[in-house]
Amino acid sequence: MGWFSRQFSWRWWSRGKNKSSDDVVLSALEGGDRRQLLQALSAMVGGSALAAMTQPAEAKDASELPAPKRALTGRNEAGKSVFKSFDVTTTVAEIDSNPGLTFYEVYRTEGVPGLTGLEPDPMLNGTKGFPGPGGTIFRLISYPPKRPEGYKPPPGVTFESGVKELSDKLPGMGDHFEKGGGGMHTTDTIDYGVVVRGEMTLELDDGQKVHLRQGDCIVQNGTRHRWRNPLPEPCLMAFVSLGGKRG
């Protein structure tokens, strides 16, 4: 038996666990039966994977995940392209009434952008909620993990206080949510969205649903909808919303 086989055999023997599987591995090594060895290893690895899958998943705190950074470009006085900043956007809204829900307001425009490269960062003055017709807003939203059974909002939180906080931190945002609608809302925008991290369920009228995984995209044509995170970990989505008018 070669050096590798002796070392492999000793390691499995010294662990002293799952002796029946160890015996199969040892006999396979000593007998030189490659097929038997591969079958034994496959069974052991598969068993370990199954055991891991059956362990209850622990919900992660969105605060443990790194905040997304924004690289903002422009031009200098000589007309050369430059990076104006590379950091977390200046406008971040954490929603206390729904812990883990965080809005990163990345950029916004109104009308036709001038593209001089000398424009000040529009987020330095905070956000203004959804854009008017022809305007745009680029935002990232971190959604909290799926709530455990029996979850209750923080003490004192009501629908009215929740939408008020939304509108205080993101002007006009709370006005779009329906009382008793379980998160259903409608905005006068076309929304381009992509799942950056995690998974998300998008629900429309009459319970129509689609399950979105990392990299999946949506185009929301001003339709009534709500979001549900199906996993015990946060979901990060990116949206560009274009202001429009109802026909």
Please tell me whether residues 39 and 71 are part of one structural domain.
no
- CATH number for position 148: 2.60.120.10
More confident residue, 18 or 147: 147
The domain in which residue 175 lies consists of: 62-243
Element (H, E) at 86: strand 81-87
What is the spatial distance between Cα 163 and Cα 63, in angstroms, rounded to a whole number? 22
Span 1-23, mean pLDDT? 45
Distance, in Å, from the CA atom of 145 to the CA atom of 228, rounded to the nearest integer, reads: 9
Please state, in angstroms and rounded to a whole number, the distance separating the CA atoms of residues 92 and 128: 13
Same structural domain, 224 and 166:
yes
Q: Are residues 136 and 201 in the same domain?
A: yes
Query: Which is more confidently placed, 34 or 103?
Result: 103
Q: Specify the 3-state DSSP secondary structure of 226.
A: strand
Average confidence score pLDDT of the chain: 81
Q: How many domains would you assign to the chain?
A: 2
Condensed to tens digits (0 to 9), the pLDDT of residues 167-178 reads 999 998 999 999
Q: What is the pTM of this model?
A: 0.74
Position 20 scores a pLDDT of 46
Q: Which uninterrupted H or E stretch holds 200?
A: strand 200-203
Token pair of 135, please? 């305007």
Confidence (pLDDT) at 126: 87
Statement to judge: residues 135 and 216 lie in one domain: yes
One-letter identity of residue 180: G
Most confident among 27-31, 149-153, 200-204 (mean pLDDT): 200-204
Q: What is the pLDDT of residues 33-62, one digit of tens each?
A: 555 544 544 444 444 433 333 344 444 555
**Residue that terminates a domain, selected from 54, 76, 96:** 54
